[in-house]
């Protein structure tokens, strides 16, 4: 039997999480045909399904797009009756098209809070929202959603909507009459609200949260971090080097140290709190200080930690001496400056830094490392170590760089390039990674320069003549307001002028190449 197959037509498959008896209602739960087409054609790969599409308080379940390779088949069952052999059944397949992706609803629905209100009856005015429950004598509970529940002597409870609720033989059913009021017409205006509608006092306070659950997928790990037994088991099972150093540094360093591991939780979280999914900040055993903190870490006896690091051959004494020498010359440095001046590898610097310095993450010295025992907020001479956030995006803006393309015969020639050098080279940081000089292009779009590393005469004169504050400010540091903005504007002006010089040089090179190409064409 010849069957026409169609492999050129593409279909989108939706695994609807219900038995579809009415296609129009199923499409309405997906937002309608127009919204369904928009979700299928979009690239975010998500599809919302609301089982109560007319209720704005309905929490949707989200389906995700999965890329597949499949075919959509149509099976036709052909039955033939023969006098001798009887009835024969044959299945005829037909390919309607290919399926490249489908939507699967594997996530659970969020908690649904219905916009309804239970009214107490006139016989029992103290009836609360829990009065829609039928209690049995055998401690069983039957929930009733209708208005009235009628009891009888038999083991069956008949409700007003002709439904039947079965109970045990010796159970006793307590009947409570309740009525349910729909709040949706009051909460949703059919027309533009008037002033009287907005100033009404008899309004039901129906304010459910936007979401009840943080996640909509089942979690295989239950975080009982407030349980002491779980915390003890986690501490025993973790025997890594980082946890050992963490415990040692906690006892040797000052109280300002804030060690954190993956199993730590904030002290403000009570034992009844659920849904703590975000881990606390992992800081190894670094001393992290905010600007508003009064005390700073002081030099302590870190010989125990040094012995552990030296015993494991993670660092050497020459590395520690090199890092300390940099902090003696400059009490406030960045990790880039420290690596460039000391010549120590970044992984080793990460182990040594908590032993000799602490870290500012707010204020004018943020993202900088400060020598233990030194407080730049109390020393006006530390103004030269303040941080300047310089971003090229704010300097260039949205102006596109124009590139001239010339029609030259040299562009058609294939250049023979030497193979790249595959030998490993040591990454050495030079001063161009932290010093700004006129004519230099910053290596990154965002740079954190210290004011002492800006080698521009105009900036140097401006900082030398600027008056200092009596108290260090959290945003501006020791300098007056908007002085850092003036420094940033000077750097931006210098950078743009340098870019103009590069464009002029590039134009001269292009003109010279054009002249050479014209001479080559004449010779040919």
Instruction: Name the pairing type of β-strands 368-371 and 357-360.
Output: antiparallel
How many other C-beta atoms lie within 10 A of the C-beta of residue 173? Answer: 20
| Same domain? 92 vs 120 | no
Q: Which residue has the tokens 């004011």?
A: 451
Rounded to whole angstroms, the Cα distance separating 206 from 271 reads 29
**49 is a domain residue:** yes
State residue 237's pLDDT score.
44
Rounded to whole angstroms, the Cα distance separating 6 from 94 reads 8
Rounded to whole angstroms, the Cα distance separating 444 from 334 reads 16
| Same domain? 399 vs 478 | yes
**383 is a domain residue:** no
**3 is a domain residue:** no
| The total number of residues written for the chain in this structure | 524
Q: Pick the residue with more confidence: 224 or 61?
A: 61
Q: Pick the residue with more confidence: 414 or 432?
A: 432
Q: Pick the residue with more confidence: 22 or 199?
A: 22
Mean pLDDT in residue range 329-348: 88
| Same domain? 237 vs 304 | yes
State residue 24's pLDDT score.
92
Rounded to whole angstroms, the Cα distance separating 94 from 91 reads 10
| Same domain? 290 vs 430 | no
Q: Pick the residue with more confidence: 30 or 151?
A: 30
Can you give the residue range of the structural domain that contains 155? Answer: 116-189
State residue 137's pLDDT score.
40
Q: Which residue has the tokens 């870190």?
A: 302
Q: Pick the residue with more confidence: 312 or 138?
A: 312
Mean pLDDT in residue range 47-72: 88
State residue 44's pLDDT score.
75
Residue 382 CB burial class (10 angstroms; 0-12, 13-18, ≥19): buried
* Whether the predicted pLDDT of 210 surpasses 80: no
State residue 299's pLDDT score.
78
* Whether the predicted pLDDT of 61 surpasses 50: yes
Q: What is the value of pTM for the model shown?
A: 0.43
| Same domain? 462 vs 401 | yes
Q: How many domains does the chain have?
A: 4
Lowest mean pLDDT among 18-27, 97-106, 245-254, 496-505: 245-254
| Same domain? 233 vs 273 | yes
Mean pLDDT in residue range 170-193: 67
**Tokens describing residue 199:** 């100033």
| Same domain? 232 vs 374 | yes
State residue 395's pLDDT score.
62
**246 is a domain residue:** yes
**Tokens describing residue 416:** 């023979």
* Whether the predicted pLDDT of 509 surpasses 50: no
**Average pLDDT of the residues of the chain:** 71
* Whether the predicted pLDDT of 513 surpasses 70: no
How many other C-beta atoms lie within 10 A of the C-beta of residue 433? Answer: 15
**Tokens describing residue 346:** 């970044």
Q: Which residue has the tokens 């209602």?
A: 25
| Same domain? 100 vs 137 | no
Please say whether the beta carbons of 148 and 177 come within 8 A: yes
| Same domain? 43 vs 162 | no
Rounded to whole angstroms, the Cα distance separating 225 from 213 reads 19
Longest distance between any two alpha carbons in the chain, whole Å = 117
| Same domain? 334 vs 431 | no
pLDDT digits (tens, 9 = 90+) for 353-411: 888 888 888 889 988 999 988 999 998 898 989 998 888 776 665 344 444 444 444 44
Distances (CA, A) of 506 to 207, 503, 519: 64, 5, 20
**69 is a domain residue:** yes
pLDDT digits (tens, 9 = 90+) for 270-309: 555 555 545 555 445 567 888 888 888 887 655 566 566 6
Mean pLDDT in residue range 469-494: 88
How many other C-beta atoms lie within 10 A of the C-beta of residue 471? Answer: 9
Which residues in 399-409 are b (16+ Cβ under 10 Å) and which e? eeeeeeeeebe
Distances (CA, A) of 137 to 140, 141, 169: 7, 9, 10
**111 is a domain residue:** no
How many other C-beta atoms lie within 10 A of the C-beta of residue 71? Answer: 13
Rounded to whole angstroms, the Cα distance separating 376 from 369 reads 11
Rounded to whole angstroms, the Cα distance separating 124 from 176 reads 9
State residue 519's pLDDT score.
47
Cross-strand partners of 390:
447
Q: Pick the residue with more confidence: 518 or 492?
A: 492
| Same domain? 22 vs 159 | no
Domain harbouring 73, CATH code: 3.30.200
Residue 18 CB burial class (10 angstroms; 0-12, 13-18, ≥19): exposed
**211 is a domain residue:** no
State residue 178's pLDDT score.
62
What pLDDT band is residue 134 in, cutting at 50, 70 and 90?
very low
* Whether the predicted pLDDT of 14 surpasses 80: yes
Question: Considering 130, 165, 189, which residue would you say is the last residue of a domain?
Answer: 189
pLDDT digits (tens, 9 = 90+) for 136-166: 444 444 444 444 444 444 444 444 444 444 4
pLDDT digits (tens, 9 = 90+) for 72-130: 888 888 888 777 777 778 888 888 889 888 888 888 888 888 888 887 665 545 444 44
* Whether the predicted pLDDT of 335 surpasses 50: yes
What pLDDT band is residue 2 in, cutting at 50, 70 and 90?
low
State residue 256's pLDDT score.
40
Residue 512, CA atoms < 13 Å, CB-side half-sphere: 6
**221 is a domain residue:** no
pLDDT digits (tens, 9 = 90+) for 221-269: 555 444 555 455 445 444 444 444 444 444 333 434 444 334 444 445 5
| Same domain? 404 vs 499 | yes
């Amino acid at each position: 039997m010849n069957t026409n197959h169609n492999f050129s037509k593409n279909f989108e498959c939706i695994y609807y999480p219900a038995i579809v008896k009415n296609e129009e209602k199923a499409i309405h739960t997906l937002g309608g045909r127009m919204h369904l087409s928009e979700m299928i054609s979009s690239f975010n790969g998500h599809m919302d399904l609301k089982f109560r599409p007319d209720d704005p308080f309905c929490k949707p379940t989200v389906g995700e797009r999965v890329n597949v390779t499949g075919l959509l088949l149509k099976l036709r069952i052909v039955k033939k009756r023969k006098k001798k052999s009887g009835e024969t059944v044959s299945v005829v397949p037909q390919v309607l098209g290919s399926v490249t992706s489908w939507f699967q609803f594997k996530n659970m629905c969020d908690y649904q809070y219905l916009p309804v209100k239970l009214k107490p009856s006139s016989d029992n005015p103290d009836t609360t929202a829990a009065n829609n429950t039928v209690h049995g004598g055998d401690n069983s509970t039957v929930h009733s959603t209708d208005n009235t529940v009628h009891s009888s002597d038999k083991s069956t409870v008949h409700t007003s909507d002709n439904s039947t609720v079965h109970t045990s033989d010796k159970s006793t059913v307590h009947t409570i009459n309740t009525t349910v009021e729909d709040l949706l017409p009051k909460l949703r205006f059919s027309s533009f609200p008037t002033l009287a509608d907005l100033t009404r006092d008899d309004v039901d306070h129906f304010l459910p949260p936007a979401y009840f659950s943080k996640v909509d997928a089942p979690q295989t790990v239950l975080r009982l971090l407030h349980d002491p037994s779980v915390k003890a088991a986690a501490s025993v099972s973790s025997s890594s080097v980082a946890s050992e150093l963490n415990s040692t540094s906690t006892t040797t360093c000052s109280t300002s140290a804030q060690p954190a591991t993956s199993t730590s939780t904030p002290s403000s979280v009570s034992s009844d709190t659920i849904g703590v999914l975000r881990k606390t900040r992992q800081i190894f055993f670094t001393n992290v200080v905010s600007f508003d903190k009064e005390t700073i870490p002081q030099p302590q006896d870190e010989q125990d930690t040094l012995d552990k690091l030296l015993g494991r051959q993670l660092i050497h004494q020459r590395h520690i001496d090199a890092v300390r020498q940099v902090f003696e010359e400059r009490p406030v440095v960045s990790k880039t400056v420290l690596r460039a001046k000391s010549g120590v590898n970044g992984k080793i610097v990460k182990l040594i830094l908590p032993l000799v310095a602490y870290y500012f993450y707010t204020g004018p010295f943020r993202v900088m490392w400060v020598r233990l025992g030194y407080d730049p907020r109390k020393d006006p001479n530390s103004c030269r170590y303040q941080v300047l956030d310089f971003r090229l995006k704010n300097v260039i803006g949205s102006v596109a760089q124009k590139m001239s393309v010339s029609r030259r015969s040299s562009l058609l020639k294939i250049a023979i390039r030497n193979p790249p050098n595959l030998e490993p080279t040591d990454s050495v940081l030079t001063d161009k990674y932290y010093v700004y000089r006129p004519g230099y292009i910053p290596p990154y779009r965002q740079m954190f320069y210290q004011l002492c590393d800006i080698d521009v005469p105009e900036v140097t004169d401006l900082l030398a003549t600027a008056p200092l504050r009596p108290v260090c400010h959290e945003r501006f540091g020791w300098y007056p307001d908007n002085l850092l903005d003036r420094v940033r504007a000077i750097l931006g002006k210098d950078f743009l002028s340098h870019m103009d010089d590069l464009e002029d040089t590039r134009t001269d090179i292009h003109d010279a190449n054009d002249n050479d190409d014209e001479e080559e064409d004449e010779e040919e």
